[in-house]
Amino acid sequence: MAGVVLEYGALRMVLQPDSGGCIAGLWYGEVPVLRSMPAAQLHSVRTSACYPLVPFSNRIGNAQMHWANAVYPLTPNFAPEAHAIHGAVWECSWVVVTASNTAATLRYTHLPDVAWPFAFTCVQTFLLDDQGVTMSLQVTNEASHLAPVGLGWHPFFVKRPASHVQFEAAGRWVMGQDKLPTVRQTSTGLDCACQALETDHCFDGWAGMLHLRDGQFHTQLSSSLNHLVVFTHPSKDFIAIEPVSHVNNALGVERSRDALAVLGMRVLQPQATTAAWMQLKIKPI
């Protein structure tokens, strides 16, 4: 399928519904804001600009999901890791519900399988206007019983030599050698240059606002979510800045509903819906 192209002023976004309902590229003029390529050249969502994280973010340890005193084996999907990662929708084909010059709506319907044992539907919306780019996610529990749901986004911002990231948070979950969180430490967030930054952590108590400045743009990222996963390394030409609903591996061990709520995991009644939004305001420097 050809990509869905949205344009407003200098902003241009290309969606690829067949590849995880992802964003293939986001440009301001001819300059990429996110890691970008034309839809025809996108052969894997893993190299896309951004994809949705549903019904969980980051990893579930050893692909073993614990819920309601039961263990559900999932499919490891990020070899050579043993974990399940990034949810169950990011490599699936989505349906275009509506599309105009400046807005689009995509939908994905999930039936129980080895990627996720509970039925749900997910709707993504994209809007380009004078405020920038606004995206939303809505997830509805289609199962006949309570089900856990997490959600978020995985955008890859271009990392330029002058890139500087700043946001406020309350805590940081330290990533272990197995890519799973170990302990929570008090953290005020980040306020630093990106070029030499090495991080792969989930921050909680995020204030919902982040600033990324470089030689081209001042990008302001805001979201209704209050957790943030930040990943980059000096060898990478991108910085992944991921607004998410919950702490990594929240479902990787048996926890009470109260404990899951503390970690940000949502629990939905049958036919109940949860939602989130993310906005990017991009100003040339």
pLDDT tens-digit series, residues 92-114? 999 999 999 999 999 999 999 99
Q: Distances from the Cα of 67 to the Cαs of 83, 231, 258, in angstroms?
A: 16, 28, 13
CATH number of 4-284: 2.70.98.10
Confidence at residue 47, expressed as pLDDT on a 0 to 100 scale: 95
Confidence at residue 178, expressed as pLDDT on a 0 to 100 scale: 95
User: Which of 132-167 are b and which e, b meaning 16 or more Cβ less than 10 Å from the residue's Cβ?
Assistant: bbbbbbbbbbbeeeebbbbbbbbbbbbbbeebbbeb
The token pair at 73 is 């084996």
- The confidence band for 281, taking pLDDT boundaries of 50, 70 and 90, is very high
* Rg from Cα positions in the chain: 18
Confidence at residue 40, expressed as pLDDT on a 0 to 100 scale: 81
Mean pLDDT calculated for residue range 172-192? 97
Distance between CA atoms of residues 115 and 209, nearest Å: 32
122 with 110: CB under 8 angstroms? yes
Report whether pLDDT(43) > 90: no
Report whether pLDDT(39) > 90: no
Find the Cα–Cα–Cα–Cα dihedral 260, 265, 270, 274, rounded to 10°: 150
Confidence at residue 38, expressed as pLDDT on a 0 to 100 scale: 83
Report whether pLDDT(1) > 80: no
Percent of the chain predicted with pLDDT > 90 = 96
CA 29 to chain centre: 25
Confidence at residue 117, expressed as pLDDT on a 0 to 100 scale: 98
Q: Locate tokens 């979201």: which residue?
A: 223
- The confidence band for 234, taking pLDDT boundaries of 50, 70 and 90, is very high
- The confidence band for 41, taking pLDDT boundaries of 50, 70 and 90, is confident
Please state the domain extents for the chain: 4-284
Sign, Cα dihedral of 91, 93, 94, 99:
positive
Q: What is the mean pLDDT of the chain?
A: 97
Percent of the chain predicted with pLDDT > 70 = 100
The token pair at 267 is 């629990």
Distance between CA atoms of residues 63 and 74, nearest Å: 5
pLDDT tens-digit series, residues 46-96? 999 999 999 999 999 999 999 999 999 999 999 999 999 999 999 999 999
pTM: 0.97
pLDDT tens-digit series, residues 15-26? 999 999 999 999
Report whether pLDDT(129) > 80: yes
Mean pLDDT calculated for residue range 151-177? 97
